Chains A and B, each alone.
Chain A
Amino acid sequence: MTGSDLIAMMILAAGLFAIGLFGVLARRGIMFQLVALEVALSGPALGFVAAGAYHADPQGQGMFILVLTLAAAEVAVGLALFLRIRRIAGSDDSDVISGMKG
């Protein structure tokens, strides 16, 4: 893996993260925000794998496993919250739950 490949991979990772972040900020449906969060998490994960491959270091792939488990845990909690919110607020619009408004 050459340096230019790494840069291309990093740009791709940054793009993935940006798409995910945009999704979280722009969408109002909680389900879609969770999906966008997954996309955003895949960006840094790709970055870890690419950097690991470039330095020939297995720690990059180890970090990818960590990110996967993190994402799984996050989705589990997120889906549970999603179900609760749908039951309480009767809607999957994240703007409805604004109890912290100042």
Chain B
Amino acid sequence: MSMISLLPFVPVPALVGFIVLSLTPATLSRAVVIAIGVGAAVLPAILFAPVALSCLDGACVSGAVVPILSIDVGVFVAQIAMSLDPLSMVTGGTVAVVAAPVLIYSGAYMGSEPLPELRRYFALMNLFLAGMLAVVFAGDVILLFLGWETIGLCSFMLIAFYTKLPKAVSAGRKALITTRIADTMLLAGLMMLFLSAGTTRLDGMLAAVPSIDPWRLAPIAGLIALGALGKSAQFPFHTWLPSAMAGPTPVSALLHSATMVAAGVILLARLAPLFAAAPEISAMVAMLGILTAAFGALIAVIQPDIKKLLAFSTMSQIGFMVLALGLGAPAVALAHFAIHAAFKSLLFLSAGVMSHASGGSTAIEALRGARYRQPWAFWSFAIGAASLAGLPVITAGWYSKEAVLAAVWSSGPWGVPLWLLAAIAAMLTATYAFRVVFIAGSQSADLAAPPWGGLAVLVPLVVLATVAVVGGLSVGALISFAGGPPEDIPLLLALLGAAAPILGVLLARRFVRRPRELERIAARLRHVRAFRIEILYYYYFVRRFRHVATVLGNAEGTEAVAQAAALRREDIDVPGTVADDPAARAFGVDATKPDFIARVTDGQTPMVRLVSGDPVGRILIAVARVFVGSFVARFSPDQIDRAWMGFAGGFGHAWAQARRIQTGRVRDHSLWIALGCVGLLLFAWGTSWR
């Protein structure tokens, strides 16, 4: 049992690594920074090993927890605890085991960055890992939410790691805002659940689920599900994930495999009894899951960029997990999570090596000939792709995906159509995965690329490739360990499932031979309305956030916006809120027409111009303008901030006046002493009055 008490210390080395790297003022040399950063990520895996071993001995049963501390606040007791059940063991093990190779790899990948950047990188990666470990081990919602927000913040800072690149910064902002919307829903859901259950411990909350009214349970489950889906980049929150590729490759490898996007899956799996009690929410989760799985696979097929392709592939694979969760098979989802984490980080790391050798370009076409330039990177990518595609029998991905498909088949009346959709998605998965493999494996004229690598690159690739192949043997054990029923798949179904990836590979071969067909499909898909959800996001959330940030960020926020609008009226393109977004340029042409609407909405945002066509929209705009003019304007330029600044500045003036009292003259001193005595006497007289 004593090994079990190590569990709360598993995330600690990563946290210590963050503190040492970010908060200590000592100047550290490059080697020390890398050693601390990598060591702090490897130590959790080492600490976790004895815990996992004693867990396999039977120490962890479903619902076991290690209490850390409890805070008594009157009637409420906030309990902080870590769970010690199969779920946290599987997910925690995956996170620890995947993070260690990724950090070792990034020691080589980021080695040439300037020292302060390197230090920032490792500090953030360690905090990221600590937050994720807190999420997977959390036995209470407080620790869970703290870890949840930590990974959200870290993902923002890591995606926007190259702060000089506007693309990276805006990608980070997008990820932050999108996940923040989802996090708000999650927080609301968790609070409602807390109010209903009266405890912060997850096991206590799940025990209280049967006694919660159904009409109350549905919004709770819905809010938590949306929060989890936002973190997992599922439709309709999927937009942040592809642009998150702006960060360094190891960040993508960690973000896409074991951390961040997996957090939503883990949360859904942990709260599975809650969703089992709310079947309509589960159905919604399953629908969004299959939608994202199919959709992501379809878009990945037409991607010209390897990192983008892998991003959509992550979306699609997480969609499979969410589908399994929605259909009430959390153990299957977890098995797929563990296998996916291994092969997805393998894909990212080997793709990073290959694109490094292809002149730093991430375009798939640039990888042509990688098989001859970087043979081992290519073959490890091929192994990862085979596992992603789920080639029958030999890869781990086949076993876990087959388990998902079987769970879909046996899920009830909707099982068959859902299974068909999932099988098509699986076929497309093989297509996009092998399109890259075929292109990278083909001949190329340019073979004179400098080899790049070393032990720090080779070891992680070999470890992960081994897991991606051999891991398949453990899928059945994983599922039964995580509490899932043993699935006996009908032979016909297994054969059909096996046919899907093979068909997909054949399709990939055809697309590579005849790139024209793919281009035609890509051109047709570009007009699908659903793809424009990104623009709507921009309008409703990102732009608004930026506007608020501009107004609050500097004292002249509104003036700056008005000035930009005035400049824009004179046809001068100003960087800023309106001219920045793509649709504004499209609508900007209409503003030159001098009709009534144009005059009323002159200098307004394109959305306002768009809406002002009909009478209801015009009323809305009028109301909004009055509201802004009478109420919002009072707060900008930020009066509250100015008041505080004046208050703080006033102290300086007060002290300048106060020093004049000190004349240094004996007579004045005597006067103050006398006045003080009089004051004391008056006080004594006043208080002793009867």
Contacts and interface: CB of A to CB of B under 8 A. Distances in A.
Interface string A26-37: 101000010000
Contacts, number: 35
A102 B670 contact: no
A97 interface: yes
Interface in A1-50: 21, 24-26, 28, 33
A94 B666 contact: yes
Interface string A55-92: 00000000000000000000000000000000000000
Given A21-B674, A24-B670, A98 B665 contact: yes
A94 B667 contact: yes
B393 to A, nearest CB: 90
Nearest to B668: A25
A25 B671 contact: yes
B663 A98 contact: yes
B653 to A, nearest CB: 15
- Interface size band for A: 10 to 19
B665 A95 contact: yes
Contacts of B660: 102
Contact of A100 (B662, B667, B670, B674): B662
- Interface size band for B: 10 to 19
A25 B671 CA distance: 7
B659 interface: yes
B575 interface: no
A33 B660 CA distance: 24
A99 B665 contact: no
A3 B364 CA distance: 112
Interface string B660-683: 111111110011001000000000
Contacts of A98: 663-665
A99 B666 CA distance: 11
A101 B664 contact: yes
Contacts of A25: 667, 670-671, 674
Nearest to A26: B667
Given A21-B674, A25-B674, A95 B662 contact: no
A56 to B, nearest CB: 25
Nearest to B671: A25
Nearest to B667: A25
A5 B660 CA distance: 46
Contacts of A101: 662-664
Nearest to A98: B664
Given A25-B674, A26-B667, A97-B664, 5 more contacts: A33-B667, A99-B664, A100-B662, A102-B659, A102-B661
Interface of B: 659-667, 670-671, 674
